[in-house]
Homo-oligomer: A and B are copies of this chain.
Amino acid sequence: MSLKSEIFEQPAVLEQLLAHQSDQVERIAAEIRRIAPAYVFLAARGTSDNAGRYANYLWGSHNGLPVALATPSLFTYYAAPPKLQGALVVGVSQSGQSPDIVSVLAEGRRQGCPTLAITNAPASPLAQAADFVIDIQAGIEAAVAATKTYTAELMAIAMLSAALLGDPVKQASLAQIPAWARQALELDERIQRSAERYRYMSHCVVIGRGYNYATAFEWSLKMKELSYVVAEPYSSADFQHGPIAMVDRGFPVMAVAPGGKVYRDVLGMLRQLRRVHQAELLIISDQAEALEQAQSPLPLPADIPEWLTPLAAIIPAQLFAYHLTRVKGYDTESPRTIHKVTETH
């Protein structure tokens, strides 16, 4: 199994997950509705933390559930875990092995909170520490850079949101995700050609907002892990609060800008970056106006509801990181220094 084959497995993985875990997700949703937590306390690291950022926006806007992203070192180093009364404690981890994430769930259970694990390893310590488990069923992920487990985690988060609402329109939209993922994969050759242009790029920023704040983080993480580019993620709002100062002529800016409620605002900033700063823009969007700003436009399938765009938008981003790595002459299968399970405490 190679990184590229795992990227291409995603439509099938998402289809499987929907087919085999919908009933389990409905059962968990019924329990959570009964418990009615005041908020969610969510622990994750790396790629799974980026999935957590999606949960932060989605569960906040669709389900009225505030999400606190945990700072796991409070549970391990400082031995002073906060009081979690009222919280649903959630751990997201591909391997289910990270001791710091497991310790957050164990503490939640000790304090009597309901606990949920979203993991690819239903027999892992994380799953054992949880009352409820969503098995993302992505199969073995052999590549060091996570791809299919990220989209599967997003899918689990989206399925739980729709199940909590009991909204048949939203559930019908979920069924279309595998087809959108397939369409996004059709960009592969185009992205391979686009990547050439960035052969000597050493750093860039990656912009996303709202639901796609998560996409900006995950895209930049893939570029850092694989192609060793210093890629810094931002929401467009935070970027305007200072860091935009560093953008001058030719500075590369990657952006995820699908249609939706934050689109006009992100578009305004992309226009400013192009016209005022003369930045270099690579843009993933389903909107013609946004794509027109870009030297490298990457069109998304049209008509994806905004809340599900992160599941499609990350796919061209993964492909870009993959091809950029090859163009730069690095090994996509054995990146330097990183390991599949990092034992942070």
Query: For the complex, is A77 an interface residue (Cβ under 8 Å from B)?
Result: yes
A242 contacts B by Cβ under 8 Å: yes
Q: Known contacts A225-B245, A240-B344, A241-B338; is A80 also within 8 Å of B66 by CB?
A: no
Please report which residues of chain A, range 50-98, place their CB below 8 angstroms from some CB of chain B when the two chains form the complex. 56-57, 59-62, 64-74, 77-87
B237 pairs with A221, CB closer than 8 A = no
Q: Choose from B45, B46, B242 the contact partner of A224 (Cβ within 8 Å).
A: B242
Distance in angstroms between the alpha carbons of A82 and B68 in the assembled complex: 12
Chain B: CB-nearest residue to A341: B241
* Range, interface on chain A: 35 or more
Interface mask (A170-188 → B, CB under 8 Å = 1, otherwise 0): 0000000000000000000
Q: Which residues of B contact A335 (CB under 8 A)?
A: 245
Interface residues of A in 225-264 (CB under 8 A from B): 225-226, 228-230, 232, 235, 237-238, 240-248, 261-262
User: Do A68 and B71 touch (CB < 8 A)?
Assistant: no
Q: Is A157 an interface residue (CB 8 A)?
A: no
Chain B contacts for A221, CB-based, 8 A = 242-243
Residue A209 at the B interface, CB < 8 A?
A: yes
A286 within 8 A of B: no
A202 interface residue per 8 A CB criterion: yes
- A89 to B: closest C-beta gap in Å: 10
